[in-house]
Amino acid sequence: MKNKVGFNFNNWRKSLVGQLLLRFWVCHILFFSIIGFVQYNSLKTSLFQSAEQNLYSDYHAIRNSMLSWLANSDFPPGRFAELRPGNFVAFYTNDYKLRFMVRSYGRMDILMPTFMEENLKFDLYEKALSNQTFLVGKAKEDKYMLLVKPVLATKVSSFIDQLENPALTIQPDSASLDLITELPILGYALIGEPLIEESLILERNIQGYIFNALLILVLSTLLTALALQKPLEPLLNISSTARKIAGGQYNLRLPYMKTSSEIGQLREALNHMLEQLENALNTEKTAKGRMSQFIADASHELRTPLTSIRGFLEILQRTGTMDKETLDSAHRTMLIETERLIRLTEGLLTLNRISREEHDQATGIKESTLQDILPELLPLFLPLLEDRVLKLNDQNIFQIANIPGSTSDLDQIIPLRPDEFKQILYNLLNNAIQHTELDGMIEIIISNEKSKFSLAVKDNGQGIPPEDLPHIFERFFRGDRSRARTKKGQGSGLGLAIVSELVRVRGGEIKVESLPGKGTTFTIIFPKT
């Protein structure tokens, strides 16, 4: 829920700055908590040790007088100047009855405070033997540190001095305890020191530490938030650019900025991705355009023979003529157009098969030689050549084909299936025959080098206009020279497209060179592996 200034805590908490600052706070709170705990306990130990030393010091100050007060019934003084301010001493008889209590600044009521009475529980003997201080009370106004000492005969005072000297840290063993047990205990001295000052020091220390910790946390948060602005600026630019790209500006790129290596790597990766995305979109756009053009061209090519066949059928149906010459002419035309439809359909199916095989990566034998296909291919061209000459490397191809093993070039393996190699060579030679004069010459030139194998089909026909060369391998493209069809020029415009696709799919390359009036050369190149 947004407040008046429009701040949304949930959005801020999910942001990168919010996540970093939240983790920053958690780390600082843990750090200050640990340091505060250690500091508090160190100060508390130091203050309590000082209070303990004060109690021992007070005890040694009044020790010489304790025996006479209890044994000789001397009247105790009204105040103990030897005691530290605020401290008190209470004397008990050996049957645990309170005799009197005196403070450093004067005598007090003989009654022991209730909370002390409950904590002592008349176990003075055990507490005296432990020779250790102990605490009573919980509230800071009622918290005291107490020390209980037995009042013994003076004949063992030197031994007791050694036994009770805190500097020697001597603990009574079993023999010493037995000796003390055998001595007559005249009573007990309970020395106490209030811990109000120590409690106030600890309380002020805690308050001051918490205030300083909060102040440091606030200041460090502000400085950290300011320090994070510059490193996070590239990420904000990336986010802004990404929104623009999502809006359709695919040509945008992330500019170079001096920043951390991780963000720099992210920028490079995103730019590379954007470049690939733009290329993919352009490719898709081009493909859609080509598909639209392909559908239009295919529709036109299919409509022409179908219209011709339909026209002849309507004429025959309308006139009802049975003239043999007219029927034969109509039948021949419809047969030619039907064959053209068949060739067009077969070309489209071939292109679709090549495209599908490219995506499916079909396996199988993809090797063939010129020697394998020539015996099947040459009979097809023999009636088409008429007076044209067909050569293979300056030799008559029909003579070479009839001499098995006459040249090693015929046995060169290329990465094509026999039917594919046959279709490629058939389309190239058929194209050359259609556009070469009757007295012209067509050559198949084989070049077998160390790193590549090339096969060229060269003719000395009319050539291809320069403006048609970039489009020669497009589907249904026919230049000016091919549009002026001869009686045999019933091409579909798919032959060279099929050749180009087959060569590309098999890892080869096809080139075309042509000069108007000089002829055309198609060259297929396959690298050797």
Q: Please report the DSSP string for 1-37 in residue order.
A: ---TT---HHHHHHSHHHHHHHHHHHHHHHHHHHHHH
Give the residue from 201, 236, 258 where a domain finishes: 201
Q: Of 63-72, 407-416, 510-519, which one has max mean pLDDT?
A: 510-519
Assign residue 453 a region (left: φ > 0; alpha: ψ between -120 and 50; beta: otherwise). beta
Q: What is the mean pLDDT of residues 441-470?
A: 88
Q: Is the domain of 387 the same as that of 331?
A: no
Q: Is the domain of 373 the same as that of 321?
A: no
Which helix (H) or strand (E) segment is 514 a member of? strand 509-515
Mean pLDDT over all residues of the chain? 76
Q: Is the domain of 348 the same as that of 424?
A: no
Largest alpha-carbon pair distance within the chain? Answer: 169
Tell me the pLDDT tens digit for each residue of 46-93. 999 999 998 898 888 887 777 766 665 555 665 566 778 878 888 887
In this prediction, residue 359 carries a pLDDT of 46
In this prediction, residue 168 carries a pLDDT of 44
Q: Is the domain of 357 the same as that of 407?
A: no
- Select from 341, 295, 342, 338 the least CA-distant residue to 476: 295
pLDDT at 516 over 90: no
Question: How many Å is the Cα radius of gyration of the chain?
Answer: 56
Quote the percentage of the chain above a pLDDT of 70.
75
pLDDT at 6 over 60: no
In this prediction, residue 256 carries a pLDDT of 74
Which residues form the domain of 84?
A: 25-201
- Tell me the CATH number at 280: 1.10.287.130
Give the residue from 333, 363, 393 where a domain finishes: 363
Give the bridge partners for 405, in sequence order.
none
User: E strands within 137-235?
Assistant: 144-151, 187-194
In this prediction, residue 44 carries a pLDDT of 92
Q: Is the domain of 454 the same as that of 429?
A: yes
- pLDDT tier at 1, thresholds 50, 70, 90: very low
In this prediction, residue 106 carries a pLDDT of 57
Q: Has residue 242 been placed in a domain?
A: no
**Comparing 74-78, 170-174, 525-529, which segment has the lowest mean pLDDT?**
170-174
Q: Is the domain of 397 the same as that of 529?
A: yes
User: What gap in Å lies between CA 272 and CA 476, rounded to an integer?
Assistant: 36
pTM comes to: 0.47
Q: Is the domain of 324 the same as that of 468?
A: no
Q: What is the mean pLDDT of residues 431-459?
A: 88
Q: What is the mean pLDDT of residues 421-431?
A: 88
Q: Has residue 17 been placed in a domain?
A: no
Which helix (H) or strand (E) segment is 298 a member of? helix 261-319
Tell me the pLDDT tens digit for each residue of 327-377. 777 788 888 888 878 877 777 777 777 766 654 454 555 678 888 888 888
Q: Is the domain of 326 the same as that of 434?
A: no
Q: Has residue 1 been placed in a domain?
A: no
Give the residue from 313, 335, 363 where a domain finishes: 363
pLDDT at 248 over 50: yes
- Tell me the CATH number at 433: 3.30.565.10
Q: Tell me the angle at which helices 495-505 and 418-434 cross, rounded to the nearest 10 degrees.
A: 140
Q: Has residue 230 been placed in a domain?
A: no
- pLDDT tier at 40, thresholds 50, 70, 90: very high
pLDDT at 281 over 60: yes
Q: Has residue 157 been placed in a domain?
A: yes
The number of CA neighbours under 13 Å toward the Cβ of 138 is: 1
Coil, helix or strand at residue 166: coil
Q: Is the domain of 317 the same as that of 386?
A: no
Q: Is the domain of 495 the same as that of 506?
A: yes
Q: Is the domain of 376 the same as that of 473?
A: yes
Long-range contact pairs involving 9-14 (C-beta distance under 8 Å, separation at least 24): none
Share in percent of the chain as helix, strand, coil (round to 5): 60, 15, 30
> How many domains does the chain divide into?
3
Q: Has residue 472 been placed in a domain?
A: yes
Q: Has residue 11 been placed in a domain?
A: no
Contact 496, 480 (CB under 8 A): no
Amino acid residing at 165: N
- pLDDT tier at 167, thresholds 50, 70, 90: very low
- Select from 370, 366, 367, 526 the least CA-distant residue to 452: 526
**Positive/negative CA dihedral, 11, 12, 18, 22:** negative
Q: Has residue 9 been placed in a domain?
A: no
Q: Is the domain of 183 the same as that of 316?
A: no
